């Protein structure tokens, strides 16, 4: 996609689009591309932990990417990480935890 290097603040390339000039899909793809680039091992460095990537996404929210794209992406990854922990044995048995929200 030609526009995935555009930034929400207009500092990207190739056309310097900003804000609502950028299709929502561009913001979503750009956030996902950045996540992949930051979390994947490279020959010159190890991939970063989610906590570091999450902090960078939040730091650049509204600058590099549309706020809603960042918020939705973070929510999705956090939910996947929570779901991945379901069913794992606890380090020490404890009382059952109440649900924090209803499932829909």
Query: For residue 27, what is the domain's CATH number?
Result: 1.10.3210.10
| Residue 35 domain flag | yes
| Residue 57 domain flag | yes
Structural domains in the chain (count): 1
Question: The pTM is what?
Answer: 0.74
Neighbours of 101 (CB within 10 A): 5
| Residue 73 domain flag | yes
Q: Is the peptide bond before 98 cis (omega within 30 degrees of 0)?
A: no
Asked if residue 48 lies in contact with residue 40, where contact means CB atoms within 8 angstroms, the answer is no
Give the pLDDT score at 87.
63
94 pLDDT more than 80: no
d(CA 1, CA 15): 13
d(CA 25, CA 4): 9
Provide the percentage of residues in the chain whose pLDDT is more than 90. 66
Name the least confident of 21-35, 57-71, 88-102. 88-102
Residue range of the domain that includes 7: 2-85
Helix boundaries (H) for the chain? 24-39, 50-60, 67-85
d(CA 57, CA 97): 30
| Residue 100 domain flag | no
- Using CA atoms, how far residue 69 sits from 8, 26, 28, in Å, is 11, 9, 5
| Residue 94 domain flag | no
């Amino acid at each position: 996609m030609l526009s995935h290097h555009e930034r929400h603040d207009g500092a990207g390339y190739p056309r310097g689009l900003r804000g609502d000039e950028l299709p929502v899909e561009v913001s979503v793809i750009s956030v996902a591309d950045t996540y992949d680039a930051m979390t994947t091992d490279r020959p010159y460095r190890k991939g970063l932990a989610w906590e570091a990537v999450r902090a960078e996404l939040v730091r650049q929210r509204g600058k590099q990417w549309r706020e809603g794209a960042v918020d939705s992406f973070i929510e999705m990854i956090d939910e996947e990480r929570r779901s991945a922990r379901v069913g794992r044995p606890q380090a020490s048995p404890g009382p059952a935890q109440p649900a924090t929200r209803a499932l829909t």
